[in-house]
Copies of this chain bind each other. A is one copy, B any other.
Amino acid sequence: MGGDHGPAVVLPALLAVIERRPDVRFLLFGRAEEVEPVLKGLPRLAGLSEFHHCDVSVRMDDKPSQALRQGRWKSSMWRAIEAVKNGDADVCISAGNTGALMAMSKFCLRPMANIERPAIAALWPTLRSECVVLDVGANIGADAGQLVGYAILGAAMAHSIFQLDRPAVGLLNVGVEEIKGQEDVKEAGRMLREAQLPSMDYRGFVEGDDIAKGTVDVVVTEGFSGNIALKTAEGTARQIAEYLRDAMSRTLLARIGYFFAQNAFRRLREKLDVRKINGGVFLGLNGIVVKSHGGADQEGFAAAVDLGYDMARRRLIDTIREQLEHFHERQPVPVDTLVANGGTNAS
C-alpha cells in the first residue's frame, strides 16, 4: 500500500522479480479495493501470490507513534512484518512510511540478542561497485559498542549480498589529526582492531570521500552523520544532473553533441537516479525488513525485492547470529556495555 504510487507500481514490479527468481512466492497485504483490480490484470502474479485484505493502511505522513497506535495487529504494514515473525515469509518489503516501518519492525520482530538498537543500512554505489553504509538514520548517536555492533551487522550484509568472505570495513571519521572528540569512534576502532574478527577485514578510519571511492565494502557511522552523508550525496547527484542538463541545452553544438551521445546520457542518468539507490535494510532485528524508496518506480521497487530475496536466500539472519555469537563468545559481555569495561577480553 505504501510509496508514492501504491499497488499500481508495487504489483507490476513483482513480475520482473518472478522472471529473475522463479521460485519466489508473495504474500500481499493491503486494501482489497485497491489491490484486487490491479492483481486481476496480472494473472501470473496472482497465481504465485496469496492476498490478505487489511482494513487499515499506514499513511505516508503518519507519525511512528500514531501508526503504531492505530495500525498495530491489523494494518497491512504490521501484518507483512508479522508474516516474517511467524515464519510465513522470509523477508518483508515496503515502500511505506520509514518511521512507522521501523517502529513496527522493532515492536514486532524485536532486536536480536546482543543488539540494543537496529540500524538502517543503505546500499551506496561506488566507483568500484557498491558498499553498505550504516546507520543512515535509525538512531542518533552511537557509543563504541553500538558502532562495533553496526560493523558486525554491515559485514554480514556485505557477505550475503556481495558474496565476500571477509568484507573490508571502515569507520567514518574526519581526517584532521590531533583533534579532540569522537572518542567513541576511536574506541570502536580499537575494539575492532583487537577483536580481529574472522568475518571482516577491519581497515581503520575512512573519510567522507572514501564512500564514493569504494575504499571499503562497509562504512560504519552513527545515524546522524550517516543520514547527513546520504542526503548530501543525493543532493550533490541531483545538483550535477541539473548542471549537466543545463550545459547540454545551452548551445547548438552542445545540443548536437547530446543528440549523438543520447544513449550514453541515458545510462548516466540511470546511474545518477537516486531512486535507484534503493534498499534501506533494517539490520539487527529478528527478521529482514527492506524499505524501498517511497518514490521508487517499478524497476526501483523490483530491485528492493531482489535485494530482500538474495539476503533471505543467503541466510543473512543466521550469518548475523553466528557472528554476534562468535564475537560475544570471545568477549562475553553485551556489545553495548563493552565501552564501560574498556572492551577488554574477559574470556
Contacts and interface: CB of A to CB of B under 8 A. Distances in A.
A113 interface: no
A236 B125 CA distance: 10
B261 A98 contact: no
Given A236-B237, A237-B236, A244 B268 contact: yes
A260 B263 contact: no
A109 interface: no
A228 interface: yes
B243 A253 contact: no
A111 interface: no
Contacts of A70: none
A342 interface: no
Nearest to A141: B181
A56 B139 CA distance: 48
A209 B229 CA distance: 9
Contacts of A239: 125-127, 212-213
A166 interface: no
Given A63-B177, A268-B244, A212 B235 contact: yes
A19 B248 CA distance: 32
Given A141-B181, A228-B229, A235 B260 contact: no
B223 A208 contact: no
Interface in A138-192: 139-141, 172, 174-182
- Give the one of A137, A261, A263 with max B CB within 10 A: A261
A267 interface: yes
B63 A178 contact: yes
A319 interface: no
Interface of A: 63-65, 98-99, 125-127, 137, 139-141, 172, 174-182, 207-213, 221, 223-225, 227-240, 242-244, 247-248, 250-251, 253-254, 256-265, 267-268, 271-272
